[in-house]
Structure 1
Amino acid sequence: MCQVEEDYHEPLQRAEVPSVSKKCVKCKEATAAVVIRAGDTFCRGCFKEYFIHKFRAMLGKNRVIFPGEKVLVAVSGGPSSCSMLSQVQEGLNQNAHKKLRFLPGIVFIDEGGAVGQSVEDRRRTAAELQAVFKATGFPFLMVPLEQVLDLPSSVVATAPSPSEPSAGAYKAAVGNFIQSDGTGSPTPREHEETALPDVQESRTHLLQQLIGSAKTQTAREDLLNTLRQHLLVHTARTEGYSKVMLGDNCTRLAVKLLTSISLGRGAQLAQDTGFSDSRYGDIILVRPMRDYSAKEIAYYNRMFAVPSVFIPGLDTKTTDKSSIQRLTESFVTKLQADFPSTVSTIYRTSEKLQTACRSSSTADPCDRCLLCMCALDTAGENASAFKATLISEQLSQTKSPGETSAVIPRQNSAPTEPESTAATGQCCSSGGGEDCGKAASGESCCSSAKSPDSPDLRSLLCYSCQLTIKDMSSMESLPHYILSEAHRRQRRSHMREEISEFLLDEGDEGD
């Protein structure tokens, strides 16, 4: 404990700062060219070997990507994703040690329409990235974000996931791949190139209207991230890819972890920051750059001339307090400057966290969030903090007895039956050509509780996505595939309530 009258006669010792004039910590011979952290000084050759080894060790340790599998590399043009593309290209080289064996493809999501870029700027950026992609020799796709408005509802409906491979399946797949190919290299294939298609101005206006419907910058960034991920998954499915590589580095994941906790996504941290994310079932998202800090990536790209393209985003030239994401990023980066172990401490903590709710890969499709596709975290106990928040919100919206209260129809309410149902004689719960046969005879339809015209999205979303939707001025601006899936889930929920008394519990199935 510190004493007021205690004298310190010994001089304080200043910590020795590593210098590039020192020798490399690995080869002990060459002069250090880069200082990553305190005590880690590398020469040029050892730093490149260290950087490449970390990437391949991450893929080899997790064993998620099998030999001969088609992998879609998502490149945004930033330093991290371009460095990831460089590592994939380096790993597929004929002379590479521990050569990669999957078949890569590149995808670029153009978000220029959402941030208000002009057509000339978008074409100039696409031309720069197209030159980078052509140099790799991989097939690439350039998809404008406006295509998210025309996605099918299957994007937010989980596809059946393949069965989990056994422990020895990966080694067996490697052996079979080498025997079938002979050389152990991926089969050459025709390189397809898709340039950025022309986008109608009306579609860009609808996208800007969708992003602009969010009142806060925090909700706009969260909504844009969700739409981008939906488009990535849809592109991977239509093009036949089973894995999608994301360029999230260690610094970005540390910021994302604290941001997710601030936004109420604590139950989804395992999916949002882990190496693999299987929430979509057949498409698995992987993050092979999660062990690299932004400083390491910047050094590597500068020393070995890895090209990258700067593309302005929603948070470009914004203040630190413009959004929760921007404030968290500023806090972490400034703390990292004085305390170099900040990012690594946050990152290592994320590896030990586990979600308390059911896994997204095993949850029922109707028990998933309509936007982020994670398992719902709103089924808490009556004494939970979430229930207390709901009660406080309901009490704050309660009007005095003299005022006229406008009751918003909820999911559990039963609206009146449309007149067109009895006239046409079609069952409104079927949603297709089927008919229960009661509407034509004048009897009540088999579905007594009809879904409302505007779906109650709140009951279909997790807590964090509820906050995002709450900040939107209008639900009508949401893409059609989200609204149609919401209608389908509510019709299914109403039907399940009607036949609930005839369903057997899980414990009664064996009797």
Structure 2
Amino acid sequence: MCQVAEDYQQQLERADVLSVSKKCVKCKAASAAVVIRAGDAYCRGCFKENFIHKFRAMLGKTRVIFPGEKVLLAVSGGPSSCSMLSQVQEGLSQNAHRKLRFVPGIVYIDEGGAVGQSKEQRWRTVSELQSLFRTTGFPFYIIPLEQVLGLPSSVVATASSLSDRPTSAYKAAVDHFIQTGSKNDETAQDTKDTSPANVPESQTHLLQQLIGSAQTLTAKEDLLDKLRQHLLVHTARTEGYSKLMLGDNCTRLAVKLLSSISLGRGAQLAQDTGFSDSRYGDIISVRPMREYSAKEIAYYSHMFRVPSVVVPGLDTRAPDKASIQRLTESFVTKLQAHFPSTVSTIYRTSEKLQTACGSPAAADGCRRCLLCMCALDTAAEKASALQATLISEQLSHSACPATSSGILKQNPGPVKAESTAAGRCCSSAGGEDCGGTAGGGGCCSGKETSDLKSLLCYSCQLTIRDMSSVNCLPHYILSEAQRRQRRTLMREEVSEFLLDDGDEEDTSV
């Protein structure tokens, strides 16, 4: 306890602060050039060696990418994806210590039409990325986002998967690769370059109408993310790639984990933040940069001059409270500045997450969401929080609160007149806008949205609910929704003639 006569005149000890003048924690000889975390001070050579080792160790220990496989690198132009491209380029060089064994390709999705950029701005960005991609010598594909409007319905269908190959298959592939030799060098560079000038104005207008149909920036970012993923998967399938490599770093995944929970996407966290994502079956997405923080990537890009291109997005110059994703990013980055273990703690939590349909074999028996292609999480019991939320939503969006069955029995006269007036569709009066009440959601828009709800997960339902009209969605999504609804109706019609597992066992006996 503090005493009255205690002497407080002695000087307080000062904690030692890390400085770049200290020695490297690895080689113990050279002076430290960068401090990543408290106590992790590296010199220039050890920092580069550690950076390269983490990338190749992540690919080596997971054994997801087989030797000789074609891998498509999704490069957005940012520091994280460009650092990933630099690591692949260095790993395939002749003087690499442990040379990578896959065949890479590059894809860039031009989202300038959705953001509202002019053709000159889009052309300037594409030109910078073209010069960057040509220096690598890899085949590259520059595809505008407008092409997502003409995709086939097979994009939102799960194809056959080859990810359940045994461990011996990887060893056999390595032995075969060593015996045959690394004959993966392509003489002709395959490129697919669709310049912004060649994109019709009508397609850009339809894309802007689709993104603009979302009322909030949260829904716009979520919808744009799903469309981008569909176009990446379609490009990988059509060009013969079996793996899709993404540049999500540790900081980005930590933000994505918290924002996904806020958006009701907790059941899909294992696929959204894990190393591998096999929701599409034949195309597996991998995230080899998930061990790197944004600070570590920024230091590496600056010290070793990794080129990158600044590409504006929907949330560029947006305030912190503009969307849930933007608010979560601001919260995590500010907390990380004062508590350096914030991102790593959130990231380590994501590593322990699993889902019931995490494996492709288990996912075959699960119903898939029409947008995100994850297993549906809406098959809940009646006494659940989801059902209570849906009932509250139905009551809050009803045109007349007095139309409940109890009130109808007590006072049928006035309510009948109000329900008749509210039951008239605004389109019958010749109006083009079915806005309903001041709260939004008229009778026509509610009818359009209700047909898709049974095919979407809870989070995608929230995104569709924020859209003014589902008719703005691409044709491949609407046609796939109609096909699934027809199959559901057909199954209900013949359900009494189908045999379940128990009946099959009795018949076999």
Give the TM-score normalised by structure 2: 0.88
The residue that corresponds to 2:438 in the other structure is: none
Structure 1 residues 11 and 223: alpha-carbon distance in aligned structure 2, compared to 1, 3 A threshold: farther
Distance 1:271 1:397, change over 3 A: same
In structure 1, the partner of 2:432 is none
| Number of the residue aligned with 2:482 | 487
User: Which one-letter code corresponds to 1:95 in the other structure?
Assistant: N
Q: What amino acid maps onto 1:80 in structure 2?
A: S
Q: Secondary structure at the match of 1:362?
A: helix
Query: Can you list the C-alpha shifts for 1:346-402, whole angstroms capped at 9, x where unaligned?
Result: 000100112245656633487100000000000011111001101112222342242
CA 1:48/1:185 → structure 2, altered by over 3 Å: closer, same or farther? farther
The aligned counterpart of 2:406 is: none
Structure 2 counterpart SS, 1:202: helix
Report the Cα offset of residue 17 of structure 1. 2.1
Assess, with a 3 A threshold, how the Cα gap between structure 1 residues 95 and 499 changes in structure 2: closer, same or farther: same
**Counterpart residue type for residue 43 of structure 2:** C
The corresponding residue for 2:281 is 281
Query: Residues 60-459 of structure 1 correspond to what in structure 2 (within 5 A)?
Result: 60-162=60-162, 164-181=164-181, 184=182, 186-197=184-195, 198-356=198-356, 359=359, 362-364=362-364, 367-398=367-398, 399=400, 400-401=402-403, 402=415, 403-404=418-419, 456-459=451-454
Q: Tell whether the 8 Å contact from 1:158 to 1:365 is kept in structure 2 after alignment.
A: no
Map 1:495-510 to 2 at 5 A: 495-510=490-505
- What SS does the corresponding residue of 1:35 show, helix, strand or coil? strand
Amino acid at match of 1:124: R
Structure 1 5/166 Cα, relative in aligned 2: closer, same or farther at 3 Å? Answer: farther
Aligned-residue offset at 1:508: 2.9
For residues 389 and 166 of structure 1, do their structure 2 counterparts lie closer, same or farther at Cα, with a shift above 3 Å needed?
A: same
Offset from partner CA, 1:402-436 (integer Å, 9 cap, x none): 22266799xxxxxxxxxxxxxxxxxxxxxxxxxxx
SS in 1 for 2:419: coil
Corresponding pairs, count: 465
Q: Please report how far the alpha carbon of residue 506 of structure 1 lies from its aligned counterpart in structure 2 after TM superposition.
A: 2.3
How far apart in 2 are the matches of 1:179 and 1:494?
Answer: 54
- Structure 2 distance, partners of 1:166, 1:217, is 44
**Residues 300-336 of structure 1: per-residue CA shift (max 9 Å, x gap):** 0111110000010000000000000000000000000
Distance 2:360 2:220 in 1: 25
Cα distance per residue 1:180-210 (max 9 Å; x no partner): 11xx463434211232331011110100000
- Aligned mates of 2:335, 2:449 — CA distance in 1: 46
Kept in 2, the 8 Å contact 1:360–1:375? The answer is no
Whole-angstrom CA distance in 2 between matches of 1:328 and 1:59: 29
Please give the alpha-carbon distance, in whole angstroms, between the structure 1 residues aligned to 2:95 and 2:459: 47
Q: Secondary structure at the match of 1:221?
A: helix
Q: Residue type matched to 2:35 in 1?
A: V
Given residue 475 of structure 1, which amino acid in structure 2 is its aligned partner?
Answer: V
Give yes or no for contact 2:217–2:322 (8 Å, CA) kept in 1: yes
Letter of the 2:64 partner, please give it: V
Distance (whole Å) between structure 1 residues aligned to residue 50 and residue 39 of structure 2: 15
Structure whose residues are more often helix by fraction: 2
- How big is the shift at 1:46? 0.7
Question: Contact conserved, 2:271 with 2:277, CA < 8 A, in 1?
Answer: yes
**Aligned AA (1:493):** T
Distance 1:365 1:234 in 2: 23
- State the distance in 1 between where 2:266 and 2:276 align: 17
* Residues 8 and 172 of structure 1: CA distance in aligned 2, closer, same or farther (over 3 Å): farther
Report SS of the residue matched to 1:220.
helix
Matches of 2:207 and 2:229 in 1, distance apart? 15
2:465, 2:37 → 1: CA distance? Answer: 43
Structure 1 residues 461, 128: CA separation in 2 closer, same or farther (over 3 Å shift)?
Answer: same
Give the aligned partner of residue 443 of structure 2.
none
RMSD between superposed Cα atoms in Å: 2.1
Whether 1:461 aligns to 2:456 is yes
CA contact (8 A) 2:140 2:190 kept: yes
Q: Which residue of 2 aligns with 1:446?
A: none
Corresponding letter in the other structure for 2:148: V
Check whether the contact 1:455–1:490 (CA below 8 A) recurs between aligned residues.
no
Whole-Å Cα distance in 2 between the matches of residues 8 and 488 of structure 1? 83
Q: Structure 1 length as normaliser, TM-score?
A: 0.87
Question: Does structure 1 retain, via aligned residues, the 8 Å contact 2:270–2:358?
Answer: no
Q: CA 1:501–1:340 in structure 2 vs 1: closer, same or farther (change >3 Å)?
A: same
AA aligned opposite 1:476: N
Aligned partner letter, 2:204: T
CA distance in 2, matches of 1:324, 1:136: 37
Deviations along 1:36-65, one digit per CA (max 9) or x if unpaired, are: 111111111111100000000000010000
User: What SS does the aligned partner of 1:510 have?
Assistant: helix
Greater CA deviation, 475-484 or 365-374?
365-374
Instruction: Please name the residue that 2:468 is paired with.
Output: 473
Q: Quick check: 392-401 or 483-492, which moved more?
A: 392-401
Cα deviation digits, residues 7-55 of structure 1 (max 9, x gap): 8968665543211000111111111111111111111111110000000
Q: Check the 8 A contact 1:359/1:375 in 2, yes or no.
A: no
Gaps of 5+ in 1: 410-451
Change beyond 3 A, Cα 1:346–1:11 = farther
* Amino acid corresponding to residue 180 of structure 1 in structure 2: T
> What percentage of aligned pairs have identical amino acids?
74
For residues 365 and 86 of structure 2, the distance between their equivalents in structure 1, rounded to whole angstroms, comes to 37
Distance 2:83 2:358 in 1: 35
2: CA distance, partners of 1:466 / 1:27: 54
